[in-house]
Structure 1
Amino acid sequence: MRLGAVHALAHLAGDAPSDEQVQTVIDVLCAYLRMVYESAPDALPGDAGVEQRDNHRTRDLEFAAFREVRHTILRIIGDHLRDDTRWRGKNYDFTGVVFDGADLSGAEFSEATVDFDAV
């Protein structure tokens, strides 16, 4: 469901009648990226019990889903900034964002405020 919402927001920005609405979509996507990001669960010990394995699997699946949404947002932002779209020249607040696999090469943030500060 989260992935669907991300794609719907990106589509909404493409159809937005004003640049302010495009900026609002970008702000929402960046806010999701700024959410607390916990690393992948540690490996299970060899003597893990059934309950411990089940809990680990649940945490691993939750992490993978969260990471997939984050990577999708970053891919969408990168794709829109590689082409001449209305996403260029907008502000991006990546404060504290963990970039673990994102590729923003070739992205043009022309005339925009972009914040990559660490927290």
Structure 2
Amino acid sequence: MKQVSREIRNRKKKAKSMGFSDTTQLSFYNTLDAKTSSVEDEDLQEAAIRVSEIFEKNKVVDWKNKVNTRKKIKREINVLLHSLDLEQSKIKSITNELMKIGGEHY
């Protein structure tokens, strides 16, 4: 139990040290970082924060089951990822992973 709580504290500290408001943004960042190689770290940090803002802005009751809301979120994430000049093949994979994380946290 102590190990789990230590890991949680460490994640919170890491998130804060990177300028994130919570560990969800850190999760978005970790996904982006793992799946991209040509994007600057600062751009990935900004993108992670922006993904979080997209979910916050579109968060409604039972959003995961509302097709139009999910499509809107995916579309906004796709636009964001295109702005990072990523390959189309990577964008779909990254978007799906970010949607999965968003579904767990929002």
TM-score normalised by length of structure 1: 0.27
Greater C-alpha radius of gyration: 1
Looking at secondary structure, tell me which structure has more helix per residue.
2
